[in-house]
Structure 1
Amino acid sequence: MNDAQPLVRFSGVQKSYDGEQLAVRALDLDIRRGEFLSLLGPSGSGKTTTLMMLAGFESPTAGEIFLDGQPITRTPPHQRNFGMVFQNYALFPHLTVGQNLAYPLSVRKVPRAEQAERVRKALAMVRLSGLEERRPASLSGGQQQRVALARALVFNPRLVLMDEPLGALDKQLREQLQIELKELHHQLGLSFVYVTHDQGEALTMSDRVAVFNQGAIEQLADVQALYETPANRFVAGFVGDSTVLGGTLQGSGACCALQLPDGRRLPGVNVNHAAPGTRAEACIRPERIALRTAATPQGPALDATVARVIYHGDHLRLLCAIAPGQALATVKLPLTGAGAHPQAGDAVQLQFPPEAMRIYACAASPP
């Protein structure tokens, strides 16, 4: 098999439930062999519909889905050999853990002796060895989700599909399982496709992320590129925290400046090559904004007033007022333990590195 060929390809795929509105529109997407790909987006953006079409639980209205170059659009779900993990676990309550894991093997006519060995290995893989005789109801939520994952892996699937599998768990357990899932992905070398609306989760686990909005992919990129260089205003606002400043675009080409309503100018990157004079918004990450001090006088800066100070344990977040009508600027300030930190009401100067200021033309208002 040619490794350059994607494992899965969506070609011109559309999906409509009512014949009028498109839940997914003109989707072209390649899923690479062995990658962890997250489908990220708000509710109703088309990410779960895309996963359900890949699983075979939904059929495209138009277009084709290919697996290893062969069309699978009309292949029933049980013939695709994909593992599936749901948010609600979907375990059989009347069966033991071992029987839950053995079920997909018995359906595939795997000999009983081999079933027992595969179940043992799958439970060891998710750190649940020795729980074969327990019932799902006697397990914690985290343990039940590990059982569901083991069941999705026990029959050696070609692809593992996950629909917000950690959404029902508390924050600490969710973060722990994120790390375990990523480690398991590295060990197995399988392709994982993971649906989530949590951008932190997507950044933690993924090799690449497809950001969905209104049935289309706004950007598909590796996690660093997605965070550092959002392709448009939607991605910049949906992935990570940003300070957003409004004004008018000045200058042409890739390098330009945002002119605030009071006349102050901030140099930045004209992401979509908008024309001079266009209404625009600049987005910058909290950790990229710096407080000007005597030791760092260089670079563009704005006078501001600290409105609120929020303690986050390892850092402070300063919410700073820049001008009437502008959103508060968020500054992430590491806690070093040395020296006094700004307090509410203090006057400060904020520095905005031009390479970190990404400027986008505002969307046209509907007529």
Structure 2
Amino acid sequence: MNHAEPLVRFSGVQKTYDGEQLVVRALDLDIQRGEFLSLLGPSGSGKTTTLMMLAGFESPTAGDILLDGKQITRTPPHKRNFGMVFQNYALFPHLTVGQNVAYPLTVRKVPKAEQADRVKKALDMVRLTGMADRLPARLSGGQQQRVALARALVFNPQLVLMDEPLGALDKQLREHMQIELKELHRQLGVTFVYVTHDQGEALTMSDRVAVFNEGVIQQLADVEALYETPSNRFVAGFVGDSTVITGTLQGSGTACALQLPDGQRLPGLNVNHLAPGAPAEACIRPERIALHAASAAPQGPALRATVARAIYYGDHLRLMCDIGTGQAQATVKLPLTRADANPHPEPGDAVWLEFPTESVRIYALPTVH
């Protein structure tokens, strides 16, 4: 077996339910052994359909799915040997926690003595030691989700598929479970494929993220590349916060800039190789923008602005700034420290916003279907 070969390969996979609209358009995706891959995107983008085809609950209309280089496109779900965790837990209410976790082993005809040992290990792994005799109804949402996870891991699957498994939990519990899941992944070395529409969740947990929109992977990258170098306007807007400025592209190659309707220019990177004169949008992360008082002349490219709102977030101040007619407000994040002696900008203050050229990414406008 060649270890350079991906664990799973989607090759030219398409899916349509009505013969007309493609929910998944032309999917080529390699899933590497042991990675934590998230499929991220808005509702209807094709991410859950992709997971369901991998699980075997849906069949591709065209294309192939390979596991270890072998076709599994027609293999039924129960023969794929994948662990599954869904948002609704799907625990059997009349079975105890231990019986729920043992269920996949019973189906696989694992001897009773071995079952007990493996159930105990799985419950220890998700920190539910001693809970085997309880009924699911007596557990909290977070505990029920951990039982579902133990059940998915108990038979040592080579792949664990998760569909929005933390969706029903409150924010604090979700964040706690994200850290636990990531740690569990690190310990086990099992391949995780995780569907979510929550970009924060995808960034905190994944090794790589595939961003879906309209049935197509827009970008597949590790989390840092996804945040720092989005490959198109959709990804820039969907992952993280961005300040967006509209205008037309000027110049070519590395010396390009966005010309604003009022004649000002912002140098930046022409990500999608746009032709000069094309309508474009520049996106920049709010924490990359430097703020200067109106009296201090900035060194680099800058725009005059007026602070419209200042929102206190504890660790940073978020400023919404007006930068001229026809433009959306610019968001600027100012980190706050205890020793911050400088007076904070107030609504109505005139300021300069400085845009470092290497952080200004100029994109083609998103296409609307």
Task: With the length of structure 1 as denominator, give the TM-score of the two structures.
Answer: 0.98
For 1:363 and 1:141, the matched residues in 2 are separated by 39
Question: Could you say which residue in structure 2 is the equivalent of 1:159?
Answer: 159
Please give the residue correspondences for 1:66-105 in structure 2 after superposition, counting only pairs within 5 Å. 66-105=66-105
**What residue is the counterpart of 1:343 in the other structure?**
346
> How do 1:1-367 residues align onto structure 2 when only pairs under 5 Å count?
1-292=1-292, 297-336=298-337, 337-363=340-366
Q: Secondary structure at the match of 1:28?
A: strand
How many residue pairs get aligned? The number is 366
Query: How far has the Cα of 1:365 moved from its partner?
Result: 7.1
Once the two structures are TM-superposed, the CA of residue 19 in structure 1 deviates from its matched residue by 1.1
CA displacement at 1:325 relative to structure 2: 1.1
Deviation at residue 22 of structure 1 after TM alignment: 0.7
Between 1:290-299 and 1:103-112, the stretch displaced more is 290-299
Q: Which moved more, 1:292-301 or 1:136-145?
A: 292-301
Alpha carbons of structure 1 residues 185 and 255: separation in structure 2 relative to 1, 3 Å: farther
SS in 1 for 2:346: coil
Superposed CA offset, 1:86-140 (max 9, x none): 0000000000000000110010011101100101010110011000011111100
The answer to whether the Cα contact below 8 Å between 1:102 and 1:119 also exists between their aligned partners in 2 is yes
SS at match of 2:122: helix
Unaligned runs of 5+ in 2: none
Contact 1:210–1:219 (CA under 8 A) maintained in structure 2: yes
Contact 1:65 1:71 in 2 (8 A): yes
Aligned-pair CA distance for 1:295:
8.1
Aligned partner letter, 1:341:
H
CA contact (8 A) 1:37 1:207 kept: yes
Q: CA RMSD in A?
A: 1.2
Distance 1:263 1:42 in 2: 36
The gaps in structure 1 that reach 5 residues or longer are none
Contact 2:298 2:352 in 1 (8 A): no
Contact preservation (8 Å) 1:282, 1:359: yes
Asked if structure 2 preserves the Cα contact closer than 8 Å seen for 1:38 and 1:206, the reply is yes
Going from structure 1 to structure 2, the CA distance change for 1:68 and 1:364 (only over 3 Å counts) comes to closer
Would you say the 8 A contact 1:159–1:192 is kept in 2? yes
Question: Identity of counterpart residues, as a percentage?
Answer: 81
Q: Secondary structure at the match of 2:185?
A: helix
Q: Is the 8 A contact 1:292 1:301 kept in 2?
A: no
Q: CA 1:144/1:364 → structure 2, altered by over 3 Å: closer, same or farther? A: closer
Match of 2:218, as an amino acid? E
Distance, in Å, in 1 between the alignment partners of 2:95 and 2:146 is: 16
- Superposition deviation, residue 364 in structure 1: 6.1
**Native 8 Å contact 1:254 1:271 kept in 2:** no
SS state at 1:174 partner:
helix
What letter is aligned with 2:54?
Answer: L
Measure how far apart 1:3 and its partner are.
1.4
How far is 1:297 from its partner?
A: 3.3
